[in-house]
Structure 1
Amino acid sequence: MDEKHHAEKANWEKLVDQTLKRFPERSQNFTTSSSIKVKRLYDSEPESNQLGYPGEYPYTRGIQSTMYRSRLWTMRQYAGFGSAKETNKRFRYLLEQGQTGLSIAFDLPTQIGYDSDDAMSEGEVGKVGVAIDTLADMEQLLDGIPLDKVSTSMTINAPASVLLCMYLAVGDKQGVSLSKLTGTIQNDILKEYIARGTYIFPPKPSMRLITNIFEFCHDYVPKFNTISISGYHIREAGSNAVQEVAFTIANGMAYVDAAIESGLEVDDFAPRLAFFFNAHNNFFEEIAKFRAARRIWAKIMKERYHAKSEKSWKLRFHTQTGGSTLTAQQPDNNIVRVTMQALAAVLGGTQSLHTNSRDEALSLPTEESARIALRTQQIIAYESGVADTIDPLAGSYYVESLTLEIEKEVQKYLERIDDIGGAVKAVEEGYMQREIHQNAYQIQKNIENQEEIIVGLNKFQLEEEVEPDLLKVDETLEKEQIASLIKIKHERDENAVQKALATLRDDACQPQVNLMPAILEAVKAYCSVGEICNVFREEFGEYTGV
């Protein structure tokens, strides 16, 4: 071991000692099934000499010095369907089964800022997630769930500020101070323009709402992740692994630029930026993708934005297994796919993980399917041994080469996007959308030509498929949700509602005013998602696409 390497390792060992004081390792005796002692870190020269150490810049090997030896990743299961009451039952069930964090799926009307009684919502209420119209729904959704003990992720973007304020209001009613609330709000509007489509407002006012959340949470909700910059939906739309990382990081840079332009210091908000990636089937490429993403982000934050805090350099990310890889044919095959993808995420160093259920190509998951998906994570965590040492594939010629190649290809994309004028300009010109569409078209051609084999879909088919038991959302739930909303609107203090909406309208007209306090007051007055978003529609307009 040369002198430099020896010094670097000694520094890392000091970091480990500091970490262990806060997060003791899960065991004093990590061993294989043959009683072979498992070291904390395998460190073979010269390969690892180029990688740094876990918990140290550029974080190729992980953002924590002890990774899963101290604390396993957060096991989340994405859930939400029908009414708040029904979803609350599923949340309680999953927590009883050992889930360690909530992940809320909202229905389509909520995602695009319409109330359940709006004509635009007909037939969609509660179908792909839970319907949330007012604070009363959020109160019911989180009934009996201690928000000072449970971390919550919310997949919501255009009306993210509204749903976050509802969550904060429920915490306040539970007596939990804002400073103790933990979780993540997705709040990533750029990927909606690129890949998913649940946008409402044009880019400029949307970016204002996002930076308002950054500022407000820095001051009052410091433990909440203010954005989850999402490559997941970019991959679901048909991108490849390189495009997923490149476009996600480009979007992240756009949010950093917008926040700095609004007057925030980079180290005031960057430590609460989080990322959300997809885990697909190409096992080693996915592992390398996660490692490369960490390294790229660390260099950007340190060298481009001159962030001083190490927390600003760390790319923390949630992973979800690939929904688009699930097949309706032979759905039990999806258990194998999800296991492989989840294992890649863990070997890549994810901070939290959602495993899709086997039946999600056909419907919302049944309780049994959701339990199997959660058990998949638990078996990886407690039975496989992969969490007992840090970055176990480091030094693999293949993995290290893939990591480097992905980094190089991502940099090429970032340079092109810089040349265009940044991610917002690239979105407005449709550059990223075209790149994704071209790749998605090629994937489909490869599947149809059997150049890419999908087991059970284009090869190894069954003549007769067994119809699995599927979860069906009760059609009467839509009527009940609408009736509940009408009742809330009838019983609330209408003067308080109109006053809150008027204040919100006034603030929206003043670009320098942070909108979060006015949104929070409107939420507490039981103004609905649709009413608040309609104020913004009137002031900001609606985005109609490229």
Structure 2
Amino acid sequence: MGGGALAATLKSRPEEKQTYETESGIPLKRIYTAADIADIPASELGFPGAYPFTRGVYPTMYRGRPWTIRQVAGFGNPEATNQRYKYMIQTGQTGLSTDFDLPTLLGLDSDDPMAFGEVGRVGVAIDTVDDVERLFDGIDLEKISVSLTINPSAWVIYAMFVTVAEERGCDLHKLTGTLQADPLKEYVAQKEWIYPVRPAVRLLRDLIMYSARTTPKINPVSLSGYHLSDVGGNALQEIAFTMAFTISYCEEVTRAGMDIDDFAPRLSFFFISHQDFFEQICKFRAARRVYAKIMSERFNARKPESMRLRVHVQTAAMSLTKVEHHNNLMRTAIQALGAVLGGCQSMHTNGLDEAFAIPTEEAMKLAIRTQQIIREEINVTSVIDPLGGSYFIERLTKDMEDEVWKMLDEIQKRGGAIKLVEEGWFQQKLADSAYATFKKIGSGEKISVGVNKYVDAASRSADVHIHPYDDHCTQLQIDRLRAVRENRDDARIQSLLKELVEQARSDDINLLPKTIELVRAKATLGEICSALREVWGSYSEPMIV
């Protein structure tokens, strides 16, 4: 449109805003042309499956490997979650994902006084290896990928999972799946921790090194940008902070003597797909490029597999509303489409009732159907990176990448991720971002349909059927714990716990073999985690203002 026509249009019909920008604050032009990408070398775009992987991590992407439909499940006792697994597999889910209850996450047994009221409430309760056996009853662990959303106590849950697989006669080299096991994001976002920062990173190091040799197809960590965003971080912070944590973990493992190419191929990532449609698509593309360069240039990785950022995506829980909750179906569908156009490898779509409680079976079925409709009906998977080459997409991808590098440089200059987590720097940045976002919602600058715009007062009193909590869950877990303790060799347990404590005093000993011995001997998760508190103590969060 010529300058005269534009001026006349603006005079008769002014634009709605004075300034336009992405959710993370990157300014947006009215229109993009070839001039906007003239400074971007063709090599930065490249081809799918080739460095720097901007257009996707595999050469044929969804033509040869559809993303995994991996809806999360976890509530009550292991049997209840097992039933939900089987329902979702029957509905078309292609991978399992497990949420654990708060006591399990915090390394507490279900009969611990601190666990009262939380057993099985926001995830499945796991106390002993027998619970993991119940959790996967009737499920072939060699044939389905299993994701375990566990962090501070991840090494114990891994030990239980491996023990169950071995006792079933499984080939450990055939097991596939992922542990979240990302400690640094716990201290800055999700706030579930047991030990101080450095011992927690040591446990992840041990897990990565043990898993790389024992279960080479399991991803021992999923670097979780999702939770950074879920507490208010923007898209740039999500990438930059996650990459900073990745650098710290890789430094810990390589410092312990393992070559980057021996473990980096099994690093995986977990990102959000949020509301700013195009920014989210560009976020995934920029993240792949940043990661490939970090692995190649900083850690001298040689294998292409070490430079591929493979990502599980979940739609944005924080975008879901209780008011007019059926609108959550549309929000989730659009966010899921953004994840697909961004090139994800697996995805969880939120249930429309997830703002209230654990999703019902009907809500989970609709969430699975959302992914199936995107995959099967609308023909967006036939062409790889269909938005690639767009003036806008390529400019925004490059702008986001440039901003991420600036953040990483600042983190490096300030002493690195571990130091800044201990100081509360990341926590402050995320708190500031969240405050800014909610101020915009409160003022109406950021619109939430049905909440602060197009408000329908009648919808605020709508009844919602939510997933029920099993009041007998706690007592059943306590009874099972009592039975285990009555029928095991307590003297052997105490001896193994003392050995674990002694090994923990040395930074050079991998704690996984001893943990697996304990699990086989029927030690509880709480006993194992408590023993290491004697050595390392507990974590106290720094104050932020």
Does residue 1:287 correspond to 2:287, yes or no? Answer: no
Selected match of 1:142 from 136, 160, 166: 136
TM-score normalised to the size of structure 2?
0.91
Do the aligned partners of 1:200 and 1:542 also contact (CA within 8 Å) in 2? yes
Summarize the alignment of residues 361-440 of structure 1 with structure 2, pairs less than 5 Å apart. 361-440=355-434
Structure 1 residue aligned with 2:509 = 513
Structure 1 residue aligned with 2:481 = 485
Offset of residue 68 of structure 1:
0.2
Selected match of 2:256 from 229, 242, 262: 262
Offset of residue 510 of structure 1:
2.1
CA distance in 2, matches of 1:407, 1:186: 25
Do the aligned partners of 1:500 and 1:525 also contact (CA within 8 Å) in 2? no
SS of the aligned residue for 1:320 comes to strand
Structure 1 residue aligned with 2:532 = 536
Selected match of 2:148 from 154, 158, 173: 154
CA distance in 1, matches of 2:121, 2:431: 27
Distance 1:381 1:508, change over 3 A: same
Q: What is the Cα-based RMSD across aligned positions, in Å?
A: 1.1
Offset of residue 464 of structure 1:
2.2
Does residue 1:473 correspond to 2:432, yes or no? Answer: no
Q: Deviations over 1:181-212 (max 9, x none)?
A: 11001110000011111111111111111111
CA distance in 2, matches of 1:239, 1:457: 21
Selected match of 1:275 from 265, 269, 282: 269
Do the aligned partners of 1:420 and 1:426 also contact (CA within 8 Å) in 2? yes
Percent identity between matched residues is: 47
Summarize the alignment of residues 72-221 of structure 1 with structure 2, pairs less than 5 Å apart. 72-221=66-215
TM-score normalised to the size of structure 1?
0.90
Structure 1 residue aligned with 2:235 = 241
SS of the aligned residue for 1:464 comes to helix
Structure 1 residue aligned with 2:15 = none
Structure 2 residue aligned with 1:66 = 60
Do the aligned partners of 1:237 and 1:436 also contact (CA within 8 Å) in 2? yes
Do the aligned partners of 1:47 and 1:395 also contact (CA within 8 Å) in 2? no
Q: Which runs of 5+ in 1 are unaligned?
A: 1-45
Offset of residue 49 of structure 1:
5.8
Offset of residue 299 of structure 1:
0.6
Structure 1 residue aligned with 2:499 = 503
Letter in 2 for 1:328: K
Structure 2 residue aligned with 1:349 = 343
Offset of residue 338 of structure 1:
0.6
Do the aligned partners of 2:230 and 2:318 also contact (CA within 8 Å) in 1? yes
CA distance in 1, matches of 2:104, 2:235: 30
Q: Deviations over 1:326-369 (max 9, x none)?
A: 10111110010110111111110101100010001001100000
Task: Point out the more displaced range, 213-222 or 350-359.
Answer: 213-222
SS of the aligned residue for 1:356 comes to coil
Distance 1:149 1:388, change over 3 A: same
Offset of residue 311 of structure 1:
1.0
Task: Point out the more displaced range, 81-90 or 497-506.
Answer: 497-506
Q: Deviations over 1:97-132 (max 9, x none)?
A: 110100000000000100000000000111100000
CA distance in 1, matches of 2:422, 2:474: 36
SS of the aligned residue for 2:314 comes to strand
Do the aligned partners of 1:48 and 1:395 also contact (CA within 8 Å) in 2? no
SS of the aligned residue for 1:461 comes to coil
CA distance in 2, matches of 1:400, 1:358: 33
Letter in 2 for 1:205: P
CA distance in 2, matches of 1:299, 1:271: 14
Structure 2 residue aligned with 1:41 = none
SS of the aligned residue for 2:187 comes to helix
Summarize the alignment of residues 3-18 of structure 1 with structure 2, pairs less than 5 Å apart. none
Q: Deviations over 1:146-190 (max 9, x none)?
A: 000010111111110000111111111221121111100111000
SS of the aligned residue for 2:347 comes to strand
Letter in 2 for 1:511: D
Offset of residue 47 of structure 1:
8.1
Do the aligned partners of 2:198 and 2:418 also contact (CA within 8 Å) in 1? no
Offset of residue 50 of structure 1:
4.3
Structure 2 residue aligned with 1:16 = none
CA distance in 2, matches of 1:493, 1:329: 54
**Matched length:** 501
Offset of residue 395 of structure 1:
0.8
CA distance in 2, matches of 1:388, 1:347: 11
Q: Which runs of 5+ in 2 are unaligned?
A: 1-39
Structure 2 residue aligned with 1:34 = none
CA distance in 2, matches of 1:50, 1:203: 36
CA distance in 2, matches of 1:232, 1:332: 23
Structure 1 residue aligned with 2:297 = 303
Letter in 1 for 2:205: T
Do the aligned partners of 2:44 and 2:52 also contact (CA within 8 Å) in 1? no
CA distance in 2, matches of 1:192, 1:75: 25
SS of the aligned residue for 2:71 comes to strand
SS of the aligned residue for 1:319 comes to strand
Letter in 1 for 2:303: S
Structure 2 residue aligned with 1:36 = none
Offset of residue 474 of structure 1:
1.5
Do the aligned partners of 1:194 and 1:432 also contact (CA within 8 Å) in 2? yes
Do the aligned partners of 1:82 and 1:130 also contact (CA within 8 Å) in 2? yes
